[in-house]
Amino acid sequence: MRSFIVIACLVGTLLIAGPRAAESQEPAQGFVLWVRSPVGALQNLFGSISAPQFNVGFRGDRFGLGLGPGFTVLRSTEKNVFNGQLGSKETFNATLFQIGPSGWVDVWHSPDGRTRGNIAAGVSIGRLSGTDKDEFRRFDGAIETSESSVSATLMGFHVGLGGEHFLHPHFALGVEGGFQGNVAFDLKEKGDNDTLGLWANGLYGALRMMIVF
């Protein structure tokens, strides 16, 4: 949601500042910041793991390359109430920190250079940690509590087709869609010596915003 608010504010600012000046100017090159905002609640979670949403780097005439850190916080709570009193409550909290490179290569552009189609790709590596807490009210009113924690090392990647249109030589909006996957290494629960490995993949769609300085 924050990404959409940032995009809306920047669009309004640039459209007011000078849209006519952009009509005859090609997109700028240089230091660039871009944001990928996956579409949909489930895809948003999956896309956040596959690649950082914020990236900084360099934009050339037909390519871009950057590096981005990512930080995601996940929280969920499930309550069961019986006769107006708490019967059970389960709380899950997780944090993910990641970093990785991503970029794109233009394969098509309009005659004025303002609209472009490209191939985008990226990889990331990160660390996931989470806790799961259960509370249960017994018949005598006492509350029993149990808590467990898990951790894992994640590697994600994405490959897709996309494109953007430069509303201003220094600002563009676009879309992207393709295939993404995640691999979890060394997934284990605290106090347990057993480890697991998991693999997940699927299609994704994302909105993109680009600012060239």
Domain count, the chain: 1
Confidence class for position 201, pLDDT limits 50, 70, 90 = confident
Q: Which residues have CB under 8 Å from 34's CB, separation 6+? A: 54, 55, 64, 66, 208, 209, 210, 211
Taking residues 108-116, report their average pLDDT: 92
pLDDT at 207 exceeding the cut of 80: yes
pLDDT tens digits, one per residue of 143-164: 778 888 888 888 888 899 999 9
Residues in the chain: 213
pLDDT at 53 exceeding the cut of 90: no
pLDDT tens digits, one per residue of 62-75: 999 999 888 777 78
Spatial CA neighbour of 208 closest among 83, 4, 34: 34
- Percent of the residues in the chain that have a pLDDT greater than 90, as a whole number: 28
pLDDT at 45 exceeding the cut of 70: no
8 A C-beta contact, residue 53 and residue 36: yes
- Domain containing 7: what range? 2-212
Q: Give the tokens for residue 133.
A: 């807490």
Domain of residue 107, CATH code: 2.40.160
pLDDT tens digits, one per residue of 12-37: 444 444 444 444 478 999 999 998 87
